[in-house]
């Protein structure tokens, strides 16, 4: 008896159904495919980039353009998250953390998810092109392609994938800024980009340490063989210290006042504390606390940037 690739990873066959019928019956699963928890942080970063990149000499804030920017970016991000799960569903099925995702668990057919992800991505890119501007649309397309074509396959080849993935992961700041000003030729936006790039490293290291056995079981090379603790220490500590400096640098680039400096130092030291705690203890609990600290840090830091705009 032959075993199909799908049944080999324990995925239950899904009865064939029309696309619309599947959408109506599986709306929660389609929502899960879009990775809403990730999209929340993407909205924050995109909004911050847009607000800070918006010219101060405008008569009124361009709310309509902001709305279009957030909608288009969310569509592309949702499509990217969906297509990522389509590409990795066989590996997701081998991990306790991801085995209940819609495709891996067999609740949605891979082909259905593929079309859904492609539709979201194309509609989002075209929406940004028509309703916002060409640069924002181009940056969104670069985000999608670099995430799917470079970061996703590299996760099974080299621990450097974390750094590669942080490149498209920091693009929402550029998309927001480009949508507001039709340019990314500014020291300020690149400081924002660097800050978001660096933030992802301790954030993902916390996740990777919590689920390192899961990743290894599925064949992901998140940590170098026999050097897991050293890799965790270097990436977490160096990136966290660099993020602290980058935050202050972003405040300086925007000519911030004492509020911005004080707030950035406070939230930066808070994140540094949990990062160093994880480096020293290297426990699942410390990693979980670092993960929570990164999730709290990002909206607070970007709020500080936004409130300090002159």
Cα–Cα distance, 74 to 176 (Å, whole number) = 12
* 56 and 167 in a common domain: yes
* 218 and 165 in a common domain: no
CB 120 within 8 Å of CB 71:
no
Residue 8 forms part of a structural domain = no
Residue 2 forms part of a structural domain = no
* 231 and 181 in a common domain: no
Q: Is the pTM of this model over 0.85?
A: yes
Cα–Cα distance, 280 to 102 (Å, whole number) = 37
Give me the tens of pLDDT residue by residue for the chain, a chain 310 residues long.
Answer: 334 444 444 555 555 555 566 567 789 999 999 999 999 999 999 999 999 999 887 778 999 999 999 999 999 999 999 999 999 999 999 999 999 999 999 999 999 999 999 999 999 999 999 999 999 999 999 999 999 999 999 999 999 999 999 999 999 999 999 999 999 999 999 999 999 999 999 999 999 999 999 999 999 999 998 899 999 999 999 999 999 999 999 999 888 899 999 999 999 999 999 999 999 999 999 999 999 999 999 999 999 999 988 6
User: How is residue 28 written in tokens?
Assistant: 């929660």
Give the CATH number of the domain where residue 155 resides: 1.10.357.140
Residue 297 forms part of a structural domain = yes
pLDDT recorded at residue 292: 97
* 137 and 78 in a common domain: yes
* 229 and 178 in a common domain: no
Residue 161 forms part of a structural domain = yes
CB 75 within 8 Å of CB 121:
yes
* 280 and 192 in a common domain: yes
Domain endpoint, select from 154, 185, 216: 185
* 41 and 165 in a common domain: yes
Domain of residue 262, residue span? 187-310
Domain endpoint, select from 185, 216, 231: 185
Q: How many domains does the structure of the chain reveal?
A: 2
Domain endpoint, select from 134, 163, 185: 185
pLDDT recorded at residue 3: 40
Question: CA angle 225-237-195, nearest 5°?
Answer: 115
């Amino acid at each position: 008896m032959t075993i199909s690739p799908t049944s080999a990873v324990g995925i239950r066959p899904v009865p064939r159904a029309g696309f619309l019928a599947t959408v109506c019956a599986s709306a929660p699963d389609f929502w899960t495919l879009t990775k809403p928890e990730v999209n929340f942080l993407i909205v924050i970063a995109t909004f911050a980039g847009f607000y800070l990149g918006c010219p101060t000499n405008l008569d009124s804030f361009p709310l309509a353009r902001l709305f279009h920017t957030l909608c288009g970016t969310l569509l592309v991000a949702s499509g990217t998250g969906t297509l990522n799960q389509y590409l990795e569903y066989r590996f997701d099925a081998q991990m306790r953390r991801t085995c209940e995702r819609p495709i891996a668990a067999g609740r949605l057919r891979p082909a259905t998810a593929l079309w859904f992800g492609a539709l979201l991505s194309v509609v989002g890119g075209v929406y940004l092109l028509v309703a916002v501007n060409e640069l924002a649309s181009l940056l969104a397309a670069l985000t999608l392609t670099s995430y799917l074509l470079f970061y996703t396959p590299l996760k099974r080849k080299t621990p450097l994938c974390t750094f590669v993935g942080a490149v498209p992961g920091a693009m929402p700041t550029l998309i927001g800024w480009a949508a507001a000003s039709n340019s990314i030729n500014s020291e300020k936006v690149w400081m924002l980009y660097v800050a978001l790039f660096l933030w992802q490293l301790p954030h993902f290291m916390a996740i990777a340490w919590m689920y390192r056995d899961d990743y290894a079981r599925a064949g992901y090379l998140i940590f170098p063989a026999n050097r897991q603790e050293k890799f965790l220490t270097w990436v977490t500590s160096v990136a966290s210290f660099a993020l602290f400096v980058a935050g202050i640098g972003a405040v300086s680039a925007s000519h911030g006042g004492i509020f911005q400096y004080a707030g950035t130092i406070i939230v930066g030291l808070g994140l540094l504390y949990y990062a160093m705690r994880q480096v020293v203890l290297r426990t699942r609990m410390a990693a979980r606390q670092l993960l929570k600290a990164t999730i709290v840090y990002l909206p607070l830091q970007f709020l500080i940037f936004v409130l300090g705009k002159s």
